Structure 1
């Protein structure tokens, strides 16, 4: 094992940097003896098989869309060579990664600027990082698995052969520039004192958010008056009571100057936690996945709205059912998956807690579906922030994002952070992760 790390140049460290024009001359020898390679390259050029030594059982994700083929950035000839050799090739539109993971022992990841194209060697200056650090390899595997979920099924020879004639058909042909006579550079004057380089002004920072007035204080709702004992009405002129067969009501004697006695109730019933009616808890008909990155603090206005909604919807539940409570979450623009702009009252959301880059891992925590009560965008925040208030209930199930992905895979679907789930079979596949949640019949 030590010899293998030494061959990788990682005998005494876990990361090394490879740079140069002929970068694949350093990468290919590290990959050629390996098994179990998975790779993701947005662009694959002619002669890629000689640079990236994929073998039967290995997997590649690339952008094999018609636009990339027409532009000449992805060669169907190279992909067809791999498919016929037993390599699984998938296509993901918009992929621009350059990543190779060797999953045997020792596992390592190669990531950098180099595309798999014969036009790159000896022409472009490249930089590539090689790492055996455990957490880095695991994060690379999680990213690759996410792309694999988003990509379509593996391509076949029948998918690629019609593209052979399309390769490079839409590529712009730039006429060669006319040769210009070489100019003799003018003699440069000798500079004895270098002029002071002006300092570049700092980049403008966004203006601070305007100070908002403090929210008005909500008057405290008075508590309902305590029940008082029933006393007989007092007539204007005292008169002796007529005898009756009914049992007389005994009243305590009141003497002048003594405090009025208060009768204690025979049994004290537990007071209700709230006097609001039980909120509606409908079965989801439109369901969103929202990527959440923990951190930060809500604004004063957001907290004030949370208090208002909590007073209106918090409920202990009826007949021993799980209680209802209101929760607040927020999502900032630019943290990977931007929050959907179509959040509104009545839809349901599942919170997926992601990394700072906005990427959900297999073990990422997810929360049970919550009913949106209110949502709004804070335009004054920087970056812009979406606040959302949801009605939730307690559940014993604690699934992870990997469980959600497997549940959707059983019906041929994948997690989607851009659009909502509205098809009943998709919603049921998601709700099966929380069988004890319980919803009101429609």
Structure 2
């Protein structure tokens, strides 16, 4: 029996594997290819090493950004095990792909591609309903290989053991209190943004008042005419968040990032943003109004390369200006910077001190 037949393809070039526990079928299919895999899998939970075996000769691209690690989406300890085994591990922030290319391992074992929704996580393995396509189409293999290699180049050099061990200090810092690690090793990716939105649990309903551990200052000076897709998601999310209720003290605010992908703002779902109401040209004065911190509840990329960020903002009892922000940073002996993620506790505390709710 050829390997293509063992993949269930027979005389076809592709087939679909769907439902719960898709890794029960994928893991055995990949077991003999542990040294020939080129993969991009956005989030790697603590069970990732059990779902796919990687050895020297293979490489994997993941999202090992600080925000993904703090959310518990990517477990640095699994990356460390792979690196120790000689695997090339790369990090590309904003990656959301799940694509595994198993290169040829001899004449009887031709190359094949797996692409779909499943992350390397306990939830994807045992709880979530996933779907993937398995194919040996030469055109698909060539296109996937080209994209994967391009992502490796964008990611830069492989992560080192020292780098992933340092990331371990951040692992799970932003996960909801009271939930077990096994329940949320992939919280960041376990549901679509709308499924994770406030309204289903007490913790979620107060998301905009949770104390952030990271803050990003962003100028919001550009006015734009939102396309219909952006309006659709705004209305949908507003309804789910309760922002469209007449008695609501919160609003869903949408802004656009028109930067090229490599220069995009360091945004991710769950990150907190402080919006500064700059002029159309981006000018900021002492009197410029500053919005309270709000979590990113959704990111939408359109076909023209624009990215739309949806912030859930809750009214504050205090009006804050740019002069207040500048004064807060003067106490630290520095000036505030736009488009920079602040993780340092002293900087976060200084900013949050401007809003009594925090």
Query: Could you state the TM-score of these two structures normalised by the residue count of structure 1?
Result: 0.40
- In the superposition, the TM-score normalised over structure 2's length comes to 0.49
State the structure with bigger RCO (CA 8 A, min sep 6), 1 or 2.
2
The structure in which a higher percent of residues are helix is 2
